[in-house]
Structure 1
Amino acid sequence: MATITAPIFLLLHLLLLLSLRPFLPIATATATTTTTTATTSSGPQSPYLSPTTLFQNYQNMRTNFMIFIYNPSKSFTFQNPAASLFYSSLLKSPFLTQDPNEAHLFFVRFSPDMSKRSLARLVRDLRINHPYWNRTLGADHFFVSPAGIDYSSDRNVLELKKNSVQISVFPVTSGNFIPHKDITLPPLNPSALVISAAPENASTTTFLGYLKWDGKTELNLVEELKKDGDFLIATERESLYHVGNVKNSKFCLLFYSGDVAWMVEAMALGCVPVVIVDRPIQDLPLMDVLRWSDLGLLVAARGGAKRLKEVLNDVSEEKYSGMRGMASAASKHLVWNEEPQPLDAFHMVIYQLWLRRHTIRYARREY
C-alpha cells in the first residue's frame, strides 16, 4: 500500500469534512443562526429579542388590530388580579370590533370555574351557530384561563386546548401550557404599579441574594441559605423593609412554585431575578419579546445552597451590570396600570396576540 504524505492526508480530511456538512443536524445549525442574529440585531444591552421588529410591529398593531368578542352565556368575574385587569382593560380598549368579518382574532370568554361539560357545550355552540370557528378549527380564537385548562377526550375542548391561544397567569405550575402558542400574563404586584425611580448603584448592595419566603416552599434549601450570611431571608411577616431588602441585594430569589408576584418590583429596583426551579420552563411573560436568558437566571433547587451560591458568584461584574440594566428596562413592559399606558403589560400581551393573528385556514367541513 502506498504511503499517504501529510499534505495529501490533510487535503483528503478537509474534503471529507466538507462532504459531511449537508448531514449536520438542522436544529444545531438553526440554533446557531438564531443566536447570532439575536445578538447582532439586539445589541449587548438590549432586553429585546428584536427591537426593530418590536417597535415597528407594535405601531402596526395599535393602528390595525381588531378583536371580536363572543357574548358569554352568563356574566362572571376573574378572581385573579392580573386576569381581571387584562379582561377589564380589553373591554375598554380600542381593539374591539362589532363586525366579526373585520376581526383578526376572536375572544371566547368563560368563567374559570366552568365545568368541562359546559365548556364543551360552549365550543359546540360556536361551531354550530357561528361560521368563524370552523374556518380554522379555533386557531384564530383565544381565551383566558388563569391556571390553564388540561386536555380532554371531548373533541370540542380538545380543539380549544390544542388550537386556540390560551392566556394564563405566570407561573402555570400545573403544566397546562403549550409553548409558542400560549401566553402568560405578568403577575400583578400592587407595589410595582408605583415604581418609577431608577435603580440605585449596585455597589451599595449588601447581600448576594434576597428571598421573601412564604414559610413552606423548599424548606431544606431555605434552611441552608439561612446559615449563610451572604443571603437574606425574610418571611411574609418580616417583610416590612421589603423594598430596602431588594435594593440591598444583587439577586432576588423566587421559587417558581411560590410567590413570584414581586419579580417585576425586584427588576424595577435593580435586583436581578433568579427563578429556582428543577425543570426547564417556557411560560415566562413576554417570551416573544424579551431575552429572558440575559435578564435573569434559572437555578435548580436540587443543587442546594452551595450550588446556588456558586452560580451567582460565577456571574462576572460586567455581565451582572448588563443583566441589571436590562432587567430594569424590561420591567416597564411588565407593569399593569389601572388605565393602560403605551408598551405596558396590557399592550404587550395584546402585542403577543397580534403576533399570533396569522393562522392556517382549514377547508370548511361538515360535521
Structure 2
Amino acid sequence: MSTASFSLLLCLSFFTYTNVHSKLLSQLTSPYLSPTTIIPHYQNMLEAFKIFIYTPDEAFTFNSSAESLFYASLQNSPFVTHDAEEAHLFFVPFSSNLSTRSIARVIRRFKETIPYWNRTLGADHFYLSCAGLGYESDRNLVELKKNAVQISCFPTPDGNFIPHKDISLPPLASSQAPYAPANKTASFLCYFRHGGIKESILVKELVNDPDFLIESQPSDLLTYKERLATSKFCLFEYGADVSGIGEALRFGCVPAVITDHPIKDLPFMDVLRWQEIAVFVPLGVVKELKHVLVRTYGDRHEQMRKLGVEASKHFVWNELPQPFDSFHTVMYQLWRRRYTIRYPRRSTV
C-alpha cells in the first residue's frame, strides 16, 4: 500500500470514528431517540404539514381537557388546509360520547361522499378518542381501528392502543405549579401523591419509611413545587393518576412508575428516550423499591434529572401553542406517521 493510500485510509478511519463517537455522545447527553434529526424534521413539519378536517355532522364535545385543547389548537393552527388535495393527513372528528354504531355511520358517510378515505382505507386519517377504540366486527370500525392513527389519553385502557401507530396525549397537569429551578439538595428519596387512596397497597408498604414522603394532596401549589424540587424520585402508579408526570420532569423529580406490564402507550414514545428519563418498576418488587432506586439508579439520577428537565417542555399544554410544547410534539408524531405520499414534490423526510 502506498503512503498516499495509507494516509487516505487513516483519514477515513479517523472520520468514521469521530462521527460514531459524536453520535454516541449526543445520544448520551440528549433525551431524544434521534437527537441529530429532530430539529430539521420539526422544521420541515412547520413548513410543509397540512391537515384537512372533515366537517362534523353536528356540534360535539370531548370528555377530557387535553382532547379539547388539542382540537382547539389544531383548528386554529397553520397546519389546517381547506384544500384536501394538498393534505398529508385527514382528521375525522366525532364526540367522545358517540356510540360505536354511530361512529361506524360517520365513517360510512365519509366513504360514500368523500373520496379520500377509500384511497388508503383510512391509513392517512386520524381521530381523537380518549379511552381509545376496541375491536369491533363492523368493517368501517375495523378500518378505523387498524388503519387510522388514534390519538388517545395516557394511560389508555388495555387493548385499545396499537403501538407504533397510535399516539397518546400527555396528561394535562391537575395543577400548574409556578416554575423554579430544581433544588439540587434532595430532602427525600421519593415523593408520592396518592390522591386520597389510603388503603393502597403501595401506601401501606411505604408510609412508615422516612425516605418516602407520602401524602394525598399538598396544602398549596408552592408546597407542591417544593415537594417535587426536593425529592429525587416521584412515584406514580400506571393506570392511576399520572397527571403530574410532566411537572415531575420539569422540577427535576425523576418519575418512578409502578406497572405490572411493559407500557406501550407512553407519550412521545418515538421521540423521547424514556428509559433515560424515568424508572419503571415491576409491581412485584414494590417491597424492594427503595433498594432499586438507590442501587440501580443512584449513580444515574443526576443525568436522568437533567434529561428529564430538558424533555419536560414537551409536556406543557398552552392555550396558545408554543414551539415544542405538547400540541406541537403530537403534531410532530403525526408528521412522522404520514402513510401516503401522493405527490413526488412532497418531502419524504
Range into which the TM-score falls when normalised by the shorter chain: 0.7 to 0.9
Q: Who is 1:266 aligned against?
A: 248
Larger displacement relative to structure 2 (275-284 or 173-182): 173-182
* 1:183-198 aligned within 5 A: 183-189=167-173, 191-192=175-176, 194-195=178-179, 197-198=180-181
Measure, in 2, the Cα distance between the counterparts of 1:265 and 1:119: 35
Count residues with an aligned counterpart.
322
Aligned residue runs from structure 1 range 95-114, under 5 A: 95-114=79-98
The one of 300, 310, 327 aligned to 2:282: 300
**1:288 Cα deviation after fit:** 1.3
Would the aligned equivalents of 2:177 and 2:224 in 1 still touch at CA under 8 Å?
no
Q: How does 1:203-222 map to 2 (within 5 A)?
A: 204-216=185-197, 219-222=200-203
CA RMSD of aligned residues (A): 2.0
Matches of 2:53 and 2:219 in 1, distance apart? 44
Per-residue CA shift, 1:188-223, capped at 9, x if unaligned?
11544753x33221xx11111110002338712210
Tell me the secondary structure at the aligned position of residue 36 of structure 2: helix
Contact 1:42 1:48 in 2 (8 A): no
Conserved 8 A contact 2:31-2:276:
yes
String of CA shifts for 1:198-249, please: whole Å, max 9, x gaps: 3221xx1111111000233871221010021111110137666222211221
Question: Which deviations, in whole Å up to 9, do the C-alpha atoms of 1:4-33 show, x marking residues without a partner?
Answer: xxxxxxxxxxxxxxxxxxxxxxxxxxxxxx
* Gap runs ≥5 in structure 2: 1-19, 343-349
Q: C-alpha separation between the residues in 2 aligned to 1:38 and 1:263?
A: 31
Q: Indicate the SS of the match to 1:314.
A: helix
| CA distance 1:215–1:239, shift in 2 (3 Å) | farther
The answer for the alignment partner of 1:283 in structure 2 is 265
Q: Is the 8 A contact 1:188 1:336 kept in 2?
A: yes
Q: CA contact under 8 A between 1:136 and 1:360: conserved in structure 2?
A: no
User: Structure 2 counterpart of 1:198, which letter?
Assistant: P
Which range moves more in the overlay, 341-350 or 309-318? 309-318
Quote the residue 1:340 is aligned against: 321
Match of 1:199 in 2: 182
Residues 218/330 of structure 1: CA separation in 2 closer, same or farther (3 Å cut): farther
Question: 5+ unaligned residues in a row in structure 1: which ranges?
Answer: 1-35, 362-367
Q: Which amino acid in the other structure matches residue 215 of structure 1?
A: G
User: How far 1:136 sits from its partner (Å)?
Assistant: 0.6
- Please state whether the residue corresponding to 2:43 is helix, strand or coil: helix
Q: 1:228, 1:149 → 2: CA distance?
A: 41
Residue 124 (1) aligns with residue 108 (2): yes
In our comparison, the structure showing a higher alpha carbon Rg is: 1
- In the other structure, the counterpart of 2:65 is 81
- Write 1 or 2 for the structure with the bigger share of helix: 1
Structure 1 residue 127 displacement after superposition: 1.1
The answer to whether the 8 A contact 1:193-1:337 is kept is: no
Over 3 Å counting, the alpha-carbon distance change for 1:82 and 1:194 in structure 2 is: farther
